[in-house]
Amino acid sequence: MPAPTLSEVIFSDQANHNFSKILGDLKRSNLSITNRLKSIQQDASFVWDVADTLNLPLVANERCGSWYIDPKLKAASAYFKSTDGHAGQWKFSTRRLNLQLLELIGNHDGCIVVDSTRRGKRMPDALSKTVPVWCCILNRALFPDDTSSHRLFVPPNAVSDSEKSQIETRLPEFLDSLEALDLNLTSLREHLKKPLRPLWVTQEDDLSPDLAETVAKSFHPVVCCTSSRQVVGTELSESGYIQGAGDDTENWALGLTAPVFWRHADKLLSTPESDLPDLIASLVAESEAESATVSDVKQVAPCIFVGVHSALGASLASGCCVVSLTPKPTDQTAWTQYTSHIEASLGKGKIASRLLRDALPHICQFVSRFLERPGSSPGTKVVVLCDTDKDLSVGVALALSCWCFDASGNPRPDQTSREAFTKTAIRVKLGHIMTARPDANPSRATLQSVNSFLMDWRK
């Protein structure tokens, strides 16, 4: 039998192509929806053990954190962004103040903030840096005389001494940005008995009640819980387990949300992978139909309220000026407009946020004319509605608060009384809105459109 040739020993191009395809198929099958949901459920058990051991309320760091907490056990939501903790980009966000946590922390002597992160990382930057900076800045603002609480605490196994030192040089700047919002710090201070102190828990740590009890003698512990265990290497060696399975839901969840998952967890986990898309579609549609019955509006500024579209009937009945931001984009000439109601058709997501820049002059002028009409009372309500009441409607409410009302909340009499708006002035208004509506989460694109309109309106 002749010896094999070199071309027969080495994989051919076609063999290499098939080998890569096989590896790709294996990776995709491992990252299936079923494996993700099972991984989430497994990590959620760890989160519950942490809460049970430490006897502290669970706070979901949205959006990822909510996947790891049964809604019946979730005490609150927070928005600590990992991007605010990225190396060289450290930030104290005046857009996401998370001040709603202070009362919860004061009442329960601490809380547990839950989040996750992608494969290979020990913990997300949101928990290792963003939350610690938040605790440090609030301590400096609310406990100015307690200098022992002004230190920055970070996990040494995730943040180097060099990076910690660089963050510390920016702390005075961060404190100035908070104080520039002119918030009522005295009322915020009343929620807390002690300063804040971050702690960290992962699945690799030994969990003990002493973890929080020792710190709680002098501080309110803010426990940063990384729900997923760290995977080093590829998921192919993890028997289906996926680190950070609840992240990037737009790429795998098919519209499934954390509340819908937890409501139907048993059914979803027992359904074959091939049948999941249809099941998820039906469950999501059912959930959307149920949520459409919600009809409340929430005040975010003097005379300004936000809500979802289902609140339209109640708003019109009360004689308010209503701005409804509808999800199907159309030209401004086709917008529906009545004396007290305008439908601005902007679309959804980033497209709507970009279109908002050109829509705001029309919306603000409409509301101004309504407020200036004969017989209009000083306390007339302006209601802004959108699909979620957290993004577009909040952006429009911010623009209206600046454009249509003065610092005392009274309608501006005419255009000439409007000052040239600055980023600082707009940021102050936003800070008050976020304090009134802490679960709001206006996107960067939305706020950029608002800033662009307000700062360029004289041009």
User: Any idea which residue has 């970009």 for tokens?
Assistant: 354
State the pTM of this model: 0.81
Residue 32 pLDDT greater than 60, yes or no: yes
What local confidence, expressed as pLDDT, does residue 294 receive?
A: 46
* Residue 442 or residue 4, greater confidence: 442
Least confident of 54-63, 246-255, 418-427: 418-427
CA atoms within 13 A on the CB side of 200: 22
Share of the chain above pLDDT 70, in %: 85
3-state secondary structure of 217: coil
Q: What is the pLDDT of residues 200-242, one digit of tens each?
A: 999 988 777 776 777 778 899 999 999 998 887 665 556 688 9
Average confidence (pLDDT) over 313-324: 71
Please state the rounded mean pLDDT for residues 323-350.
84
How far is Cα 92 from Cα 168, in angstroms, rounded to an integer? 12
Q: What CATH number is given for 297-456 in this structure?
A: 3.90.190.10
Over residues 177-193, the mean pLDDT reads: 92
Is 433 strand, coil or helix? Answer: helix
**Cis amide prior to 63 (ω within 30 degrees):** yes
Give yes or no for residue 314 having a pLDDT over 60. Answer: no
Cα distance between residue 392 and residue 241, in whole Å:
37
Task: Give the start-to-end residue ranges of the domains of the chain.
Answer: 33-231, 297-456
Q: What's residue 127's pLDDT?
A: 96
Angstrom distance (rounded) from CA 52 to CA 55: 5
> Residues with Cβ < 8 Å from 443, sequence gap 6 or more?
350, 353, 391
- Residue 199 CA to residue 127 CA, distance in Å, equals 9
Percentage of the chain exceeding pLDDT 90? 49
Of the candidate ranges 294-298, 372-376, 446-450, the one whose mean pLDDT is the lowest: 294-298
Looking up tokens 């929806």 gives 33
pLDDT at 16: 53
